[in-house]
Structure 1
Amino acid sequence: MSTEFITDEVLIMQSEGFLVSDMDGEKVMLSIDNGKYYNLGRIGGRIWELASTPITVGGMVERLVEEYDIEPDACEQQVQRFLRQLADEGLVQVKKA
């Protein structure tokens, strides 16, 4: 599925093949396949944790709005943008719900 179509209804799930560590509250990852290093930061790390089991983007946004001081519309836009980046790098899988 094209990353252009990341909407509230699609399912997001972590891709396999990454070594993940927590460094001072930030998630850092190493791709076993290509050797690339990724630093997801704190909130990006929380998004990664939420994607450990299949979750809709809408469900992810709801959880983040409950946990952080952010408006739902702003959260949705930022999460969709971040998930597109993760999907483009192969870090998450995007599937129709």
Structure 2
Amino acid sequence: MAVNLQDKVQRHPDLVFAHMGDEVVMMSDDQSDYLGLNGVASKIWTMLENPLTVQELCERLQTEFDVGREQCEQDVVIFLDDMKQRGLIRVLD
């Protein structure tokens, strides 16, 4: 099921990751995938230390980046869906 704006999400607490400058690097849940995040993706990862709804996440991103609401929501949902499929974030009840 796709992530929606009302979902509360958080990065997976058991993942090993490291900040390297403006980037975040990590291994996937099953250790078979290396992933590097830069720019906005790195910022999203940092923001997801604590649970946020997707809507709250988008609102925070809009205060830091020059992006419209609709575009931000579309891009964030696509990104979070990918992160969820990789086991890097979890959707909370």
CA contact (8 A) 1:17 1:31 kept: no
32, 50, 63: which is aligned to 2:60? 63
Please say if 1:90 is aligned against 2:61: no
Which ranges of structure 2 fall in alignment gaps of 5 or more residues?
Answer: none
Shift of 1:47: 0.6
20, 35, 39: which is aligned to 1:38? 35
Percent sequence identity over aligned pairs = 29
CA contact (8 A) 2:29 2:87 kept: no
CA distance in 2 between counterparts of 1:14 and 1:46 reads 12
Counterpart of 1:86 in 2: which secondary structure?
helix
Which ranges of structure 1 fall in alignment gaps of 5 or more residues?
Answer: none
2:23 matched residue in structure 1: 26
CA distance in 2 between counterparts of 1:32 and 1:82 reads 17
CA distance in 1 between counterparts of 2:18 and 2:32 reads 15
CA distance in 2 between counterparts of 1:46 and 1:14 reads 12
Residue-by-residue CA offset, 1:5-55 (whole Å, 9 max, x unaligned): x11111001112222112230111124642421112121111111111110
How many equivalent residue pairs? 93
Please say if 1:51 is aligned against 2:48: yes
Q: So what's the TM-score if we normalise by structure 1?
A: 0.86
| RMSD of Structure 2 on Structure 1 (CA) | 1.5
CA distance in 2 between counterparts of 1:42 and 1:21 reads 15
